[in-house]
Chains A and B, each alone.
Chain A
Amino acid sequence: MPPTKEKLLEMLRSMLLTRRFEEKLTELCQIEGKVPGMMILCTGQEAVAAGVCAALEPQDVIVPNHRSHGHLLARGADPNALMAECFGKRTGFNKGKSGTLHVAVPEVNALCTTTVVGGGIPIAAGVAFAQKYRKQKNVTVCFFGDGAADEGSFHEALNLAALWDLPVLFVCENNLYAGAQRYEEHTKIRDMADRAVAYGIPGIVVDGNDARVVYAAAERARARAVAGEGPSLIECKTYRCRGHGESDHQLYQPPEEIASWKERCPLPRLRDEVLAQELLDEKALKSMEDEISRIVEDAVRFAEESPWPDPEDALSDVYV
């Protein structure tokens, strides 16, 4: 089913929020010491998170990877607590223990984000097992990159999930790169989705820069999963517009390639659709954008004004 008007607006909103949130992080990363550590952004890939999450019910679970801002914001995670976690502040989702790379937000059923590439895939199978075990009509979504599909964990988890008909959506965000390795330099087949054949599950390729088709594919895969028919592998073709971390100067990405993908930016596409369908007029759109800018400014202020954790707080949370 194509997305309803509400869904289109929901997706546009979450994509605008993610983009603004990350543009701000890009800016802040220029200021020495402002945002510690690696800052790995999903700029350019927002349609995947927005499209998939719009197809989910609140009790569905997502398992994101290191590139998680879009997944979490699309799920409704509080921008203040997310920004504060990126800063390492006490008010962050995980009290500064995580930082950007492994944010857990159980409040929105984003249960475990992992930065071990491929690590989330077997975990997602386990989460889906629990859903099925409890006869919930819910699904689990695992987001991962093309690089992750090379890890053994991908193959073992897909086989198990397929065998047991677990309600999982394996969402591969094929953004053409794994670190500095281009897709063709790490994978022989053209479409990662073809790997589904080996496990007896559907493998679907979609334009990952079009939130509408991502939504439609996720909705179908979800329906199949809750009907007890098992997992699907959805490959979203997209592009990583920023580097692998904000200190990566993208020397290995041809500038023409970056430019051409910028032209296929998922945001104007959805915006044009929303305007064409007259769901919003230019003025209403502008006020949505302004509101989102305010939300992000507030999040930055919140993070800046938040206290650091006390050094001894490092000792807490190891055990229950």
Chain B
Amino acid sequence: MQQLTMGQAVNQALREEMLRDPNVFIAGEGVGVSIHAAPVLPTFGLLEEFGPDRVKDTPVSEAAIAGLAVGASVMGLRPVVEIMFNPFVTLASDMIVNHAAKLRYLSGGKSTFPMVVRIKSGAGFKAGCQHSHNLEAWLAHCPGIRVVMPSTPADAKGLLKSAIRDDNPVVFIEDMLLYFVPGPVPEEEYLVPIGKADVKRQGSDVTIVTWSKMLGAAMKGAALLEQKGVSAEVIDLRTLAPLDKDAILDSVRKTGRLVVLHEATRTGGFAGEICALVAEEALGSLKAPFRRVTGPDIPVPFSPPLEAFYIPDEHDLVKAVESIV
């Protein structure tokens, strides 16, 4: 199997879908000519291959970028637009939240918006809170859009291909540190379905639910727990909306314990939604209270020791699990 980083996997997905469907085009700030001309990055080489009609470098204009996707997609094109850093989705959010998410409903089902908004995200690259802010819970709170957050190169490729073929608006959030982490990716054509979680590790004592970059901490934590005689099951949600409720509930019913791990801040974070789901539907199977391991309720600070303090890790996870087993 080929080894690709997530950046390369995203690149392959874009390339294959552009080859397959002439309605697919990409747009965003520096998706063509970029200051970061490195082969591990998601849109590398696509301008050269597909030309400026299908790889559109835009002005610094997030509202226009998202609006472009809304308008072009209602005409039947399949835009894949890019928001350079997660916090800047706020500038595009009118188009995403008030338009992409609502216009199908408003049309009584007559209009469709097959668009993808790729968002580069995650803390850990030392640029401070105006560049690092995990906003997935905001977006998942809006009915009408799908929210996808892959954790591995193979998932990223298969999920992005599904997202591009999906007739709904999809927000596809990529953690930038994962762009550099290699993993196996099948050579042949495949799709990963949107809305299906993946059990990345089987276990019997506790269910750890996570997504995106935090999968790494979850797997490391599970390995540490194993040495301590605790068997952890790790569920990677992959998609927040629609949420794979069954995968979570089935696992919690088996293990009787739940810890949710995410990088975003705690209050109003998506972990709360998962805990609420389990409390509503599987309270009886819980042998202990659930726990949330998240970023603290602060903006992401710049200074390395402060940023490291912000990002949850396997030790935080292990502590939380040990408090309930």
Q: Do the two chains bind? A: yes
A interface residues, Cβ below 8 angstroms from B: 36-38, 88-89, 92, 95-99, 101-102, 114-118, 147-148, 150-153, 178-181, 185-187, 243-245, 248-249, 251-252, 308-315, 318
**A98/B302 contact (C-beta < 8 A), A179-B29, A179-B30 known:** yes
In the bound complex, CA of A318 to CA of B295 (Å) = 14
Bound: A126/B34 CA distance, A:
34
Query: Which secondary structure dominates where chain A touches chain B?
Result: loop
Q: Name which residue of chain A comes closest to B87, CB basis.
A: A116
List CB contacts (< 8 Å) of B43-102 with chain A. 57-64, 87-88, 91
Contact of A252 among B35, B297, B302, B305 (CB under 8 A): B35
Q: Does B19 contact A (CB under 8 A)?
A: no
- Indicate which residue in A96, A117, A185, A252 contacts B306 across the interface (CB closer than 8 Å): A96
Other contacts beyond A36-B126, A147-B59: 4, CB < 8 A? A38-B127, A98-B302, A101-B131, A315-B296
Let me know if A314 and B128 touch, CB within 8 A: no
Q: How large is the interface on B (under 10, 10 to 19, 20 to 34, 35 or more residues)?
A: 35 or more
Q: Contact between A97 and B127 (Cβ–Cβ < 8 Å)?
A: no
**30 A–B contacts from the bound complex (CB under 8 Å):** A36-B302, A36-B303, A89-B303, A96-B306, A97-B301, A99-B126, A99-B128, A115-B127, A115-B128, A116-B87, A116-B88, A117-B60, A151-B62, A152-B63, A152-B64, A152-B91, A153-B91, A179-B29, A179-B35, A180-B35, A181-B57, A181-B59, A186-B57, A186-B58, A186-B59, A186-B60, A244-B35, A251-B37, A311-B308, A314-B310
B192 within 8 A of A: no
Least Cβ–Cβ distance between B288 and chain A, in angstroms: 27
Contact between A102 and B128, CB atoms less than 8 A apart: yes
Q: Which residue of chain B lies nearest to A88 when distances are taken between CB atoms in the complex?
A: B303
Which A residues lie within 8 Å of B131 (CB)?
Answer: 101, 115
Please classify the interface of chain B as helix (H, G, I), strand (E, B), loop, or mixed, using the class held by over half of its residues.
loop
Cβ-neighbour of A150 out of B61, B87, B130, B305 (below 8 A): B61
Other-chain residue from A101, A243, A252, A308 in contact with B128 (beta carbon distance below 8 A): A101
The interface residues of chain A lying within 8 Å CB-to-CB of B307 are 314
Q: Specify which chain B residues have a CB less than 8 angstroms from the CB of A245 in the assembled complex.
A: 35
Q: Does B105 contact A (CB under 8 A)?
A: no
- Assess whether A314 is in contact with B34, with CB atoms less than 8 Å apart: no
Asked whether B60 lies within 8 Å of A37 as measured between CB atoms, the reply is: no
CB neighbours of A36 from chain B (8 A): 126, 302-304
Q: A89-B303, A115-B128, A179-B29 are in contact. Are A318 and B35 (CB under 8 A)?
A: no
Judge whether A311 and B59 touch: CB under 8 Å: no
> What A residues does B87 contact at CB under 8 A?
116
- Check A314–B296 contact: CB distance below 8 A: yes
Residue contact B60 to A118, C-beta cutoff 8 Å: yes
- The CA-CA distance from A179 to B33 in the complex, in Å, is 9
Q: Is the CB of A97 within 8 A of B35?
A: no
Contact A116 B130 (CB under 8 A): yes
